Structure 1
Amino acid sequence: MSLFNFLVSKTIMHVPKPIVSYFAKGYIAGSTLDDAIRVTKELNQQGMMTTIDILGEFITRIDQAVAFKNNGLEILQAIDQHKLNANLSIKPTQMGLTLDKERCFELIHELVAEAKRINNFIRIDMEDIPTTDDTLEFFRKLREEFPGHVGTVLQAYLRRTPQDIIDLADGYQNYRLCKGIYIEPRLHAWKHPQAINRNYVTCLERMFKQGAYVGIATHDESLVFEAMNLVRELGLKPDQYEFQMLLGVDEELRKIIVDNGHRLRIYVPYGQDWLPYSKRRLKENPFIAQHALRQMFGLKKH
């Protein structure tokens, strides 16, 4: 790790809001749904799909969960109205998982039912370890009632993930596979980057061989390489998988993916609660801060 990256990872949680805002502004659509719609239209014109997400998680009151559910319905309706090539991502803690599990499931069920009605899709994001079992339980229940309209996320840095994939093989399978960003104890999560990458490829191959549709979510060029190799070796068609990337991250790589005939979905977050998201992303990927500094001072990458 470079000294710059080390300093970013250690200090980002204490950086003033205006500075974080400058670094992160290219990685968030804006504060309103109109911003997310505008960005999605631009990406659709470039041949890319999106998943729209309103920022916010780990709420403290159920009325906040209801408000986020209503926001989700508004997003689905906007996607349908504007004929966007997009779907919706939600977080269980955004819907009140840590407050009232049954009510949380009811709210998510309402969203997935609406997604089915308009022939769209809900991605139930994965959060930290205490929420993992409940999230997978929700996915199991919802996929029985709404196959084709709901999926979840599995994280390659968790030691449990290969077994989770096997355990979920008895039904409809639609996953986003990512490395994982939450800070988890070593007992539960691989820490070495090489171990995480090897587990990622192992999990991806297992998912494909079980017939899962996978959103290959990574900005790591080595993993993109491995995924493309697997796609070719297994003879998969373009409609059997997709790549996924965050808004604003490595636009050259995303062009390479699309130009090589692969489908790509961009994660488009928006909302007032952008600060925690931005700090997590900067901590995970200090390159964002490096890129912003180069732009600020007119420097070129050598």
Structure 2
Amino acid sequence: MGIFNFLVSKTIMHIPAPIVSIFAKSYIAGPTLYDAVKVTHDLNKKGMMATIDVLGEFISTKEEAIFYKNECIKILDVIAKEGLDANLSLKPTQMGLNLDKEFAFENIKEIVAHAKELNNFVRIDMEDTPCTDDTLEFFRRLREEFPGHVGTVLQAYLRRTPKDIENLSDGLLNFRLCKGIYNEPRKLAYKDPYIVNQNYIYSLEKLFQKKAYVGIATHDEKLVFEALRLIEKYGLKREEYEFQMLLGVDEELRNIIVSGGHRLRVYVPFGKDWLPYSRRRLKENPNIARHALKQFLGM
């Protein structure tokens, strides 16, 4: 890791919000849903899909959870009204997981049921490890009632991921596979980037073997190469997988993937509570800060 990346990763959680915003604005569609709609329209014109997410973390009341539930339902309605090629992502803690597990489940179930009515899809995002078991349980319960309308996320840095794939293989599999960004203890997560990549490839192949639909979520071209190799190996059709990338990250690679004839979905977050999300993303990928600084200085 270069000195710039090291400094960003070590200090980003303490940098004042106005400075973080300089680096983070390319990650966020804007403060409102209609900012996300505009970005999604632009992506669709370029042959790319989107998943829209309203930002907001660390809720402390059920009233806040209900607010975010209603926001998610509104997002699905607007996607339908605007004719967007997009779906919805949500976080279980935003729905109240840390307050009341069954309350959170019922909130998510209501959203997924609405997605089914609109012939759309909900991705239940994965958060830190205290949420992993509950998130996978929610997916297991909902996929039985709403097959094809709900999926969740697996993280390649977690040691448990291959076993989770096996444990969930008794039903329909739909996952976003990513590396993972939370700071987890070594007993739970691999720390060596090489091993994380190897576990990503191993998990992806296991998912393909089990006929899972996978959102291949990575900006690492080494993993894109390995994914393309496996897609060819298993003879997958275009509609049997997709690539996924974050808004504002490596647009050149994004365009290369799409021009190669593959489907690609861009994560489009919006909202006023952008700071925690932006700090995590910049900590994960300090090169974004480098790129933004060059643009800011006109270099």
TM tier, smaller: over 0.9
2:287 aligns to what?
287
Q: How do 1:130-149 and structure 2 match up within 5 A?
A: 130-149=130-149
Q: CA deviation at 1:295?
A: 0.8
The one-letter code matched in structure 2 to 1:76 is L
The residue matched to 2:89 in structure 1 has which SS? Answer: strand
| Number of positions where the alignment pairs a residue of Structure 1 with one of Structure 2 | 299
- 2:106 aligned with 1:97: no
Q: What corresponds to 1:42 in structure 2?
A: 42
SS in 2 for 1:153: strand
SS at match of 1:236: coil
Is the counterpart of residue 228 in structure 1 residue 239 in structure 2?
Answer: no
> 2:255 & 2:30 partners in 1: Cα distance?
23
SS of 2:269's equivalent? strand
Q: Which moved more, 1:203-212 or 1:54-63?
A: 54-63
Q: Using the TM superposition, give the Cα deviation of residue 58 of structure 1 relative to its aligned residue in structure 2, in angstroms.
A: 2.8
- The DSSP-based 3-state class of the residue aligned with 1:87 is strand
Shift of 1:292: 0.8
Whether contact under 8 Å (1:181, 1:284) holds in the other structure is yes
Counterpart Cα distance in 1 of 2:113 and 2:31: 27
Q: Equivalents in 1 of 2:46, 2:167: separation in Å?
A: 38
TM-score when normalising by structure 1: 0.98
1:70 aligns with 2:70: yes
**1:59 to partner: Cα distance:** 1.1
Distance 2:120 2:198 in 1: 33
SS in 1 for 2:70: helix
For 1:57 and 1:225, the matched residues in 2 are separated by 34
2 CA distance for matches of 1:104 and 1:58? 14
Q: Give the secondary structure class of the aligned counterpart of 2:215.
A: strand
Q: Is residue 255 of structure 1 aligned with residue 235 of structure 2?
A: no
Alpha-carbon separation, structure 2, partners of 1:284 and 1:67: 29
CA RMSD of aligned residues (A): 0.5
What's the counterpart of residue 168 of structure 2?
Answer: 168
Query: Does residue 1:179 correspond to 2:179, yes or no?
Result: yes
Distance 1:24 1:295 in 2: 12
In the alignment, the residues of structure 1 paired with residue 221 and residue 171 of structure 2 have an alpha-carbon distance, to the nearest angstrom, of 31
Query: Percent sequence identity over matched residues?
Result: 68
Per-residue displacement from partner, 1:136-190 (whole Å, max 9, x unpaired)? Answer: 0000000000000000000000000000001111001100000000000000000
Structure 2 counterpart of 1:197, one-letter code: N
Query: Aligned residue for 1:11?
Result: 11
**Aligned-partner Cα distance in 2 for 1:276–1:234:** 39
1:58 touches 1:96 (CA, 8 Å); kept in 2? Answer: no
SS of 1:244's partner is strand
Q: Please give the alpha-carbon distance, in whole angstroms, between the structure 1 residues aligned to 2:252 and 2:208.
A: 26
Distance in 1 (alpha carbons) for counterparts of 2:70 and 2:298: 43
Residues of 1 paired with 2:35 and 2:237: CA distance? 33
| Pair 1:58-2:58 in alignment | yes
Runs of 4+ aligned residues of structure 1 deviating over 2 Å after TM superposition are none
Partner of 1:83: 83
Match of 2:128 in 1: 128
Structure 1 gaps of 5+ residues are: none
The residue number in structure 2 matching 1:118 is 118
Partner of 2:218: 218
The one-letter code of the counterpart of 1:3 is: I
CA distance in 1, matches of 2:16, 2:126: 28
2-side partners of 1:164 and 1:121: how far apart? 22
2:42 counterpart letter in structure 1: E
Report how far residue 57 of structure 1 moved.
2.1
- Tell me which residue corresponds to 1:208: 208
- Secondary structure, aligned partner of 2:126: coil
Residues in 1 aligned to 2:126 and 2:136: alpha-carbon distance in whole angstroms: 9
Gaps in structure 2 of 5+ consecutive residues:
none
